Structure 1
Amino acid sequence: MSLRDFPQYLMETLKCLSSLHKYVVVFMFLTAVSKGSACQAPSSPECFRRKADETVYLCEWSMNTTESDVTFVLYIDKEKIRNIKQTWSQVNEEKLIKNRSVDIWVEARAGNSSCTSPRRSVVLGDTVKYAAPRNISMSWLKNNLSLRWRAEEAHPALAEIQFRRNDDPAESWEKRTTHTTSYTYNATVENLLKDSAYKVKIRHRSTHARNPLWSGWSFVTVPAELEQKPEVTMAIQLLNGTRKVTLTWKPMPHAAAASGVNYNLNDTQSSHGCHCQGNRYPQNTSENRHTTHVSFSAVNISVIAKNAAGYSPTAIVQIPAEVATDLKICDKTLLNETLNKTTCLELYELQDGDSMPENVITLTGRKKNKNKAKQIRKNIKNYVRYLYFEHRCNGGKPQTVKMCIFYKKEGVPSKKPQDLISFSETHTSVNLSWKAIPFADQKGYLTHYRLCSVTISSQDVSKACFNISASLMKYRLENLAPGAKYNISLAGMTRVGEGPEATVMINTLPEKPVNVWWSLGLLFLFFFMTTVCTCIFKRIKSKVLPPVPTPVIPDFIPYQPESQELLERKEEVHELTLHQLLPEGKSVPEDAEETDVLTGEWDSGTDEDVENKRGDSRMSGGSSDQSLDPSSTDEALRISREGEMADLEQVDNEIAMLIYRNGLVFDVKTDSP
């Protein structure tokens, strides 16, 4: 009965069994049989050397199993190697036949089952298989990717490179095969994009072995090239002789940071040996922020981004020296003293306007070579201006405790102040400007300038000198004589003496008489302003205090009517009867009465006073003894009429007068006849 028919036979047997114990025994037996029949054969083994000159062979195979107690037996021709727990084994060449073909295979054993791999015939001495590429480095040259890794042998190898874009896993692999160079294997993949990231896998094999095998794959991520330097910003905070510097920079592009980016920082203080233990450079960080402490001297901090493909351009942050505005000459230094390990001296050879000097002399207590320290002290030059710094480490941070101007030896300035000029001359003053003496030509600490003015005249020559601050480059010279000629000189002064003079000739403006036209203009302006002010004052006065008007009596010319008819036509005459008083016993004739009536009608427009006067005149004009004949009546009427005309004239003159009552003026005019 075959193994294939066994389950059917077993099922027929089970029908005859009735006890539960027999079922359990059969079930365990079936489980054991199923396990034995599930053994999968391992792959055919490969036996090789890593290099052609090695004496140890490595045999490798693979097997898909989940069992943990699998053991292998390796067969190389008649040689048998037992109890192998892993899927590889090393064999010394003494046990093997190298120069002819041999059969190799592997037997896997798991419990009571076993399975065997296919057999392979191979000449072991001709077979070489390199290890997978190791220590792979990469760089970009334009759009060409250069890959380098450690060489397995001293001769070139054949390399297979496959790549695809890093951000597209579904993209198919592109294959390139190339020969490497000797010693260090170097392969170039052309026509890629340097601003993109790639997934790359590499394998290689020997070109000298008769039966070379491909090595295993090595996988790497190639980031994009770092084309731009980091964009660094700086914030400085002054703290008791030290400066807290915080540097921040933007992250690199995503493609350039595909495999990670690190940043390398370095500073010039550390390179000069003037640093504290807690502030030593270079430093590496993967962050986008860095905080450090520096002294008051000038410092350069460099920031470089680094990824697997190379370095970015260097970003240099220049931190100028924190120089006090009122620097004085050094009174005492430690140049000739023995320094301890926490003290550092720096001397900057100053140039004009140079806050980042190139020539820096550094002395520290860490220098063990005393002769070298003496040589450094000898390098300090005479007549050269130095900025002296004295630093100490305080709590692991550099702290500047002294800063001053230092001269090893002083002299007088070798040059005069530059470009001395005069401008804006007036009658008694002039403006002067000049450029400072360069530091290299001062030869000492410039304490002040000496300014002198000499009057050049046929009558008198006088000289006046005074000192001005060494920090000034402009000055206004005053108290000069009008219309005079001066010789102005300016020289720099050090503690040793006076340097060369810079001179300039000036002429002050002469005094001029007062301009006549200017005087006339001022006079006209005075009268004009006086007139305007007077008008304004009168207008204000008339508004606030109005004047009391003076009555005005115009000249009156009486108007005589041409005829009695016009007068009668103009006036409204009411009937008036005039009676002449006569003595008792006398009668009045009728014509006289009519005449009196007419006379009364004409005189009706007069007032009561005039009428009384007229009556009086009539009374006085006649006597009681007079008779009333026509001639006497006419005479009486004439006399009465003349008196009435005189009275009317007087009344008209009074009416024509202005009447002033209660502060009001009325202009009363008589009606024309």
Structure 2
Amino acid sequence: MRMRAAVLVLVVFVSLTEAARCVPTSSPHCYKSSTKPSEDFICEWDERNPEKGQKHTLHIWDPEKNSFRMHVECTKPAQADIFLEDLGTPLRKTDIWVQTQVGNLTCNSTKTSVILECMVKYSKPCIISMKRSAGILNLTLDKPKDYRGAIYEIRWRERDSEWQNKTFETKDSTTEDFHMLHLQNRTVYQIQLRRQAKLHAHQCKDSLHALWSDWSQTLDVPSEIRHAPVIRRKEKDLKNGSREINLFWDAPPHEESAGGVKYILKFWDWPCEKNKRKKRKTKDQSYNTTIAYSEVKISIVAFNNVGHSPRQHIVIPAVKHLNYCNSDMHLNITKADNKTCLEWYKLEDGETRPEAVQSSGKKLVKDIKNEVENYVRHYYFLHTIRNKQYQTAIMCPFYSKERAPNHGPANVNISDITHESAVLSWLSIPVAAQQGFLQHYWIWISGQGNTKFHQVPANQSSFLIKELHPGASYTVSISGRTKAGNGPNSTVNFETHSKEMGLSWQDQTILIICVVALLCTVICSVAARRLKLLPEVPIPVIDAAEFRCPEEQDQRPKLEEVHEFILLLRQDLSKRRENVTPEQSTLLQDFGLVVFEEEDEEDGEGGVTDFSSMKSCCYPNPSYRGQMLQLPEPFHMTDSTSRDSETEPTYRDGLFFETRVLECDITSL
């Protein structure tokens, strides 16, 4: 009994496990991609069981006849094709479902009841082009497969904002569908579209049969590009007849670059095929290429999702024209073919390339020399193609015939004249007047009965005339020369300076420099004083401790003391200081007075004593002691008879002196 129960449980478990392995698909969606009656149908569904080895069968049931209309074994994953010839009329209502088989188990999806003729699902719209001008966006859309008008739903939004929707219909008579949408100017948008068929059968009026297509890809709608790209370029060194060009430019502003920008460049770099141009596309903001030595024209246009910028043209000029053929470029081409191109033009002024340029892929230089104008300079480039790159094999000026120049040098002038030299200068003969390749200039210098000749290179425009005589007159003539001969002369006269005349220009230069240096020194000195740039003279610092304020001094009235001392007029050297008493000497020392005596020689008129060596320092300087007392001025003794009892008061350094002459020839102070 237990054994039977176990077997029953096992069988139920296995059955449930197998049933769990069989998962039905979603309901099938059957449709055709156009409204054409002869169009076959497609059925699609979603598989919900990841198991391998599943088999799907599509069943179509006719409820009116209560019978199967067809069974379709599915060979494609989640899809089956229904051919109209097997289905019969699609106008009757049918039930459709998908049967899934996993091992011995089967399961069915939910049935769908439809009229197949009404089940039309267009492909998702494709935006052929967008053009935006100010606030209007013009859309060009592809037509459905049956080229019929359709119902469209469009939605748009600014980035990261809510969608706005609207629907519109198109007509049958056009090859493309169009729509105009109003947007805000200078604002970036995103748009999507979908469409559905217009069904005309009365059975298809039910909205349940209307199938919308998938939404189109979301596209950014930038503003139109208003300005053409501005190209800048860098040119590298010439090498092997070609030059490498680096072109670069700036991207448009953000509102014009949304959705991406691509650039189309066109090069006109092969002059023998003027309508042939090289076209290059890039999404970068730079482009590198190699071009030949002649002039090249380039154009660039920037494209975004709503249009393109104005076209920008630039011209890369030819390399600098040569005055003579380049000996480093050897011509080893002897026959013209489809890989050679000869380009030539008239170069009247030696620099400017004219508008009229001739080219040929069937000629060489020897073939055109007899075709061009005589005595006029021309220029040619011979280009070749090597390793799929254009190169210049040789470039050179040329004349078909040459003759002597028809003009002499202009603006002939003499400058920097000294007593022995002068400088001759002139303007080169214009290329149009040379009429051939200018080889050199001939200069004749006549004066003092003889003539000297000099030959100067053609690229030179000045000449130093030396070994002249002072104060002499000279005549200078100059002319240009080609291989055909000399042209007209240009003449100028001048006179050298005398030797005595002033300083030489070297000495004048040194003198001027010295004067300028002196003026600069004076100006700087005055400026430094005015602006006080020099340090100030320091003020001596006096110690206040040596001076006592009047408040600190004794303010009691003092009586003026008068002392007398006697200065003896020395008549005899042996009687020195004999009349000076000890009391007087002590009194002088108490007052800080020191008397110095000098032994002067006596003159013939009598004794004269000079007291100029007597010095003293007294109040208010507290350190007067030990210093010398200086009398106001030296005085001389006169005859004692005439000066008897005469006094002469003197005030000096805070002391009052009174001098008088006594009868005994003693001076009292």
Checking the alignment, whether the CA contact within 8 Å between 1:223 and 1:257 is kept in structure 2 is no
Distance 2:113 2:340 in 1: 77
Shift of 1:106: 1.8
1:104 aligned counterpart, secondary structure: strand
Paired residue for 1:50, among 34, 50, 66? Answer: 34
* Residue of structure 2 equivalent to 1:30: 16
Checking the alignment, whether the CA contact within 8 Å between 1:156 and 1:183 is kept in structure 2 is no
Shift of 1:23: 2.8
Distance 2:349 2:230 in 1: 30
The two structures, once aligned, show a CA RMSD in angstroms of 5.9
Checking the alignment, whether the CA contact within 8 Å between 1:143 and 1:191 is kept in structure 2 is yes
Checking the alignment, whether the CA contact within 8 Å between 1:296 and 1:323 is kept in structure 2 is no
**2:214 is the alignment partner of 1:216:** yes
What are the equivalent positions in structure 2 for 1:36-435 lying under 5 Å apart? 39=24, 41-43=26-28, 45-46=30-31, 48=32, 50=34, 52=36, 55-63=38-46, 65-67=48-50, 69=54, 71-75=56-60, 77=62, 79-84=69-74, 85-95=76-86, 101-111=91-101, 112-121=106-115, 123=117, 129-134=121-126, 136-152=128-144, 157-165=150-158, 167-168=159-160, 171-175=162-166, 177=168, 179=170, 182-193=174-185, 196=188, 198-205=189-196, 214-222=212-220, 224=222, 225-241=224-240, 242-251=242-251, 253=253, 256-270=256-270, 272=272, 281-316=278-313, 318-323=315-320, 326-328=323-325, 337-339=334-336, 343-350=340-347, 352=349, 358-364=355-361, 381-383=372-374, 385-392=377-384, 398-409=390-401
Shift of 1:91: 4.2
Shift of 1:182: 1.9
Checking the alignment, whether the CA contact within 8 Å between 2:91 and 2:115 is kept in structure 1 is yes
Summarize the Cα distance change of 1:447–1:435 in structure 2 as closer, same or farther, 3 Å threshold.
closer
Shift of 1:104: 3.1
Distance 1:445 1:76 in 2: 101
One-letter amino acid of the counterpart of residue 188, structure 1: M
Shift of 1:201: 1.9
One-letter amino acid of the counterpart of residue 15, structure 2: F
In structure 1, list runs of 5 or more residues that go unmatched. 1-14, 275-279, 365-369, 456-462, 516-568, 577-606, 608-646, 653-667
What are the equivalent positions in structure 2 for 1:463-474 lying under 5 Å apart? none
**Per-residue Cα deviation, 1:343-382 (whole angstroms, up to 9, x for no partner):** 5543354465866664444455xxxxx6x99999599642
1:101 aligned counterpart, secondary structure: coil
One-letter amino acid of the counterpart of residue 245, structure 2: V
Shift of 1:447: 5.5
Checking the alignment, whether the CA contact within 8 Å between 1:348 and 1:387 is kept in structure 2 is yes
Shift of 1:302: 4.2
Checking the alignment, whether the CA contact within 8 Å between 1:74 and 1:81 is kept in structure 2 is yes
Shift of 1:338: 0.8
- State the TM-score, normalized to the length of structure 1: 0.55
Distance 1:209 1:490 in 2: 101
Shift of 1:164: 2.5
Distance 2:455 2:198 in 1: 89
Distance 2:290 2:479 in 1: 43
Shift of 1:405: 0.3
Checking the alignment, whether the CA contact within 8 Å between 1:421 and 1:433 is kept in structure 2 is yes
Distance 2:573 2:13 in 1: 177
Shift of 1:118: 2.4
Distance 2:97 2:415 in 1: 114
1:23 aligned counterpart, secondary structure: helix
Shift of 1:157: 4.5
Distance 2:123 2:17 in 1: 42
One-letter amino acid of the counterpart of residue 279, structure 2: P
Shift of 1:573: 5.7
Q: Number of aligned residue pairs: give it.
A: 495
* Residue of structure 2 equivalent to 1:637: none
Distance 2:465 2:282 in 1: 61
**Per-residue Cα deviation, 1:371-404 (whole angstroms, up to 9, x for no partner):** x999995996424543223445666655544332
Shift of 1:109: 0.9
Checking the alignment, whether the CA contact within 8 Å between 2:405 and 2:486 is kept in structure 1 is yes
Q: Alignment identity in percent?
A: 22
Checking the alignment, whether the CA contact within 8 Å between 1:327 and 1:403 is kept in structure 2 is no
One-letter amino acid of the counterpart of residue 28, structure 1: V
Checking the alignment, whether the CA contact within 8 Å between 1:320 and 1:356 is kept in structure 2 is no
One-letter amino acid of the counterpart of residue 41, structure 2: L
In structure 2, list runs of 5 or more residues that go unmatched. 63-67, 205-209, 502-566, 575-598, 608-633, 640-669
**Per-residue Cα deviation, 1:490-547 (whole angstroms, up to 9, x for no partner):** 9987656788x8999x9989999x99xxxxxxxxxxxxxxxxxxxxxxxxxxxxxxxx
1:24 aligned counterpart, secondary structure: helix
**Per-residue Cα deviation, 1:175-212 (whole angstroms, up to 9, x for no partner):** 3535378223333323244562x432223455685568
**Per-residue Cα deviation, 1:589-620 (whole angstroms, up to 9, x for no partner):** xxxxxxxxxxxxxxxxxx9xxxxxxxxxxxxx
Checking the alignment, whether the CA contact within 8 Å between 2:150 and 2:195 is kept in structure 1 is yes
One-letter amino acid of the counterpart of residue 283, structure 1: R
